[in-house]
Amino acid sequence: MPVLLLLGFGMAAAAVAAPAATSLVACGLLPSLVLFVLDGSEGQNTACTVGGLNVAGVAPFLPALLSREAHALPAANLLGDTTALIVMYAAAAVGWLLIALLPSLFAFLELEEIRQKRESLRRVQARLEEEWGPEVRGPDFQPPKPQTSPSFAPSQR
């Protein structure tokens, strides 16, 4: 909760110093602010990922509002511009895509690495059998069943 308090004081100070930029940041970072409050996971990795990309989507529009002659009109124009809002919210959506897709991608890559290692060990085993004879297997050896490449299902995580 101290982070939320600090965030609140920071937004209040920014609202006094640069009200136009603050209104743009508040509206542009709305997906991240809501997620930051609702994300109960330890470390808030989802909020950090989505928030970081959301900040990247809002940042290109800030310089125009931070100049000395900035008024409320440029902020209203930016907030009314659907392209600007789409860029800001699409950046947050890319964060959600990363959260949704990367765990499955890394699990698949790990399974593929395990499969390749298994095949490499089987080749070494076959080479040792050729070189030393079948006694190298040991008395309790049972040949492995041939397997196809592992299929990944989200339930295997």
Which pLDDT score is estimated for 105? 95
The answer to whether the CB of 31 falls within 8 A of the CB of 55 is no
Per-domain residue ranges for the chain? Answer: 2-137+145-156
Burial track 77-101 (b if 16+ CB lie within 10 A, e otherwise)? ebbeeeebbebbbebbebbeebeee
**Nearest-CA neighbor of 19 among 69, 68, 57, 75?**
75
- For the cut 90, the answer to whether the pLDDT of residue 40 exceeds it is no
What backbone torsions phi and psi does residue 74 show, to the nearest 5 degrees? -60, -35
- Other C-beta atoms closer than 10 Å to the C-beta of 62 total 16
For tokens 């004081």, the residue is 9
pTM of the model: 0.64
The answer to whether the CB of 95 falls within 8 A of the CB of 50 is yes
pLDDT by residue (tens digit) across 67-101? 656 566 666 777 778 888 899 999 999 999 999 99
Which pLDDT score is estimated for 117? 96
pLDDT by residue (tens digit) across 133-153? 877 777 777 777 776 665 555
Amino acid at 17: A
Amino acid at 145: K
157: confidence class by pLDDT, cuts 50, 70, 90: very low
Encoded tokens for 112: 């593929």
